[in-house]
């Protein structure tokens, strides 16, 4: 009997507000330590929190996107525990009455198999500060810039059965929060972090004791951490030991998980309603007003691309993988009126260049307008597809627009039939043995002739005309 893996994820999505959830302090990334923390964030007595109203519609948008119930009465609680980077001694969070309640579901796909993952809840809370162990020799410093940063913690059901499923779910949620515009999804800066609860058990028996892998900010590391944790737990159980409920850290350099602290239960936190914050009452009118502002979601956009533009499921999935990618594509199609050509260039030359330079599409030096100008030159037969790649490289290097580069480099496509015929005659005359072989039935030689003519024209001959004229010559 093999082991079955059970995984649930807790995702912390930092909301894209200008200030903290209960104070007016800024939340800009990269500021000098403790320059974005006021008296409330420092936990000084007598300071009262004021809810940043911008977090409410952000949370509701996620709830609507996944079909969850929205809590009409949402309450903030104090979650009591002591850490050096939590000066108040409690975190203001939500427990009994979260803003996004049960009912949410997202669909993932792994190796061609689709599966629905339940979302238990999503609640608002403040982030803690950060301990700095390497700033002062022999001492630990505390940076409270992050203390009070607004988070939406999204808790899944334990529905995932492999590390791949966990990564697919995390990517799906990453895609959703960015589409909704409620989180920038920047994992390197900690805007999107994942805790993974992992356990193993024999099929037909109760779930095993879980360990929590804390604060992972890379999809690659999520998969690696879960895989190594599964191996660790199975080794313990098969050698007669017991898995301890605890929080563990993943060390990417050593590819191992190690104990951080014992895992607390809800009772340990002694939750109680925060006396300084009123319950948030959400009406049906509030929800409908937010629903009216919801953008088209990726699944719906994917289906529309397939039906409206005739794209394959794979192409539609790639082009909707991020909001930036979809916006670029739609801008490009509006210019070219050719969805397939636009998709091919985005998934080909553009994606290749972005990957090589590790750039997000929002930072592409070739905008949709610039690429649209290039594709227009293909569509009107000014240049061939091969020459277009040369022009694209020049645009990427900042040498100007497609029109400017084509003019400067003399790359206009040769469409003069007599000029192309002359090239074909020269190629056929220079290769009599190949001509004989073609006429003897070796049809593959046709591609050889096309290649030679294109080479002779330095890639500037119209491929369509070359093919047609060559066929006529070889009859």
In DSSP notation, 248-300 reads EEEETTTTEEEEEEEPPPGGGGT-EE-TTSPPEE--HHHHHHHHHTPPPPHHH
- Say what the pLDDT of residue 200 is: 97
The per-residue pLDDT for range 34-65, each reduced to its tens digit, is: 999 999 999 999 999 999 999 999 999 999 99
> According to DSSP H, which parts of 37-84 are helical?
55-65
d(CA 321, CA 185): 13
The mean pLDDT of 242-249, rounded to a whole number, is 92
Q: Say whether 350 sits in a helix, a strand or coil.
A: helix
Per residue in 129-179, pLDDT tens? 998 888 888 899 999 999 999 999 999 999 999 999 999 999 999 999 999
What are 404-463's pLDDT values in tens digits? 999 998 888 888 889 899 999 999 999 999 999 988 888 888 999 999 998 888 888 888
| CB distance 81 to 43 below 8 Å | no
pLDDT at 376 over 80: yes
Q: How confident is the model at residue 263 (pLDDT cuts 50, 70, 90)?
A: low
Average of pLDDT values for 85-101?
95
Q: What is the mean pLDDT of residues 270-278?
A: 95
Residue 1 has pLDDT above 60, yes or no: no
CB 81 within 8 A of CB 125: no
Average pLDDT over residues 394-411: 93
At 65 the pLDDT is 97
Map out the domains of the chain with their CATH numbers. 4-285 (no CATH), 296-409 (no CATH), 417-474 (1.10.10.410)
Supply the DSSP symbol for 144. Answer: -
Gap between the Cα atoms of 395 and 392, Å rounded: 5
Q: Residues 85-103: what's their mean pLDDT?
A: 95
Q: What integer pLDDT is reported at residue 414 of this predicted model?
A: 83
Nearest-angstrom CA–CA distance, 25 and 346 = 40
Model pLDDT for residues 189-215, shown as the tens digit of each residue? 999 999 999 999 999 999 999 999 998
Q: What is the reported pLDDT for 266? A: 66
pTM of the model: 0.81
pLDDT at residue 398 greater than cutoff 80: yes
Angle, CA of 201, 207 and 210, to the nearest 5°: 90
| % of the chain surpassing 70 pLDDT | 99
């Amino acid at each position: 009997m093999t082991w079955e893996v059970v995984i649930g994820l807790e995702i912390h999505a930092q909301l894209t507000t200008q200030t903290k959830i209960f104070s007016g302090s800024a939340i800009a990334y990269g500021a000098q330590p403790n320059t974005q923390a006021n008296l409330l964030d420092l936990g000084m007595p007598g300071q009262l929190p004021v809810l940043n109203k911008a977090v409410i519609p952000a949370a509701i948008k996620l709830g609507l996107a996944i079909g969850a119930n929205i809590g009409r009465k949402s309450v903030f609680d104090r979650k009591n525990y002591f850490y050096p980077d939590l000066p108040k001694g409690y975190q203001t969070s939500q427990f009994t009455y979260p803003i996004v309640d049960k009912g949410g579901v997202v669909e993932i796909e792994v190796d061609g198999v689709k599966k629905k993952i339940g979302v238990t809840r999503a609640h608002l809370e403040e982030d803690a500060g950060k301990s700095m162990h390497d700033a002062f020799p022999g001492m630990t410093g505390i940076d409270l810039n992050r203390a009070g940063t607004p988070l939406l913690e999204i808790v899944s059901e334990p529905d995932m059965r492999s590390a791949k499923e966990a990564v697919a779910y995390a990517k799906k949620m990453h895609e959703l929060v960015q589409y909704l515009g409620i989180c920038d999804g920047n994992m390197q800066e900690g805007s999107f972090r994942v805790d993974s609860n992992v356990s193993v058990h024999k099929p037909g028996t109760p779930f095993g004791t879980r360990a929590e892998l804390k604060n992972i900010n890379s999809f690659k590391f999520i998969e690696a951490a879960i895989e190594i944790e599964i191996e660790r737990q199975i080794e313990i159980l098969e050698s007669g030991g017991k898995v301890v409920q605890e929080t563990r850290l993943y060390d990417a350099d050593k590819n191992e998980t190690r104990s951080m602290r014992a895992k607390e239960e809800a009772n340990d936190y002694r939750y109680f309603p925060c006396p300084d914050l009123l319950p948030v009452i959400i009406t049906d009118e509030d929800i409908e007003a937010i629903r009216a502002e919801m953008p088209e979601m990726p699944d719906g956009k994917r289906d529309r691309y397939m039906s409206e533009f005739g794209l394959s499921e794979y192409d539609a999935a790639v082009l909707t993988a991020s909001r930036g990618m979809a916006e670029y594509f739609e801008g490009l199609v509006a210019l070219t009126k050719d969805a397939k050509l636009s998709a091919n260039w985005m998934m080909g030359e553009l994606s290749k260049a972005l990957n090589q330079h590790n750039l997000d599409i929002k930072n592409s030096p070739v905008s949709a307008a610039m690429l649209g100008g290039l594709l227009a030159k293909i569509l009107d037969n000014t240049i061939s597809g091969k020459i277009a790649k040369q022009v694209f490289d020049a645009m990427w290097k900042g040498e100007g627009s497609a029109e400017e580069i084509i003019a400067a480099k003399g790359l206009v496509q040769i469409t003069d039939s007599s000029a192309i015929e002359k090239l074909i005659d020269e190629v056929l005359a220079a290769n009599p043995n190949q001509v004989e072989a073609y006429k003897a039935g070796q049809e593959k030689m046709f591609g050889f002739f096309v290649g030679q003519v294109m080479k002779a024209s330095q890639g500037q001959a119209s491929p369509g005309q070359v093919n047609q004229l060559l066929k006529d010559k070889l009859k």
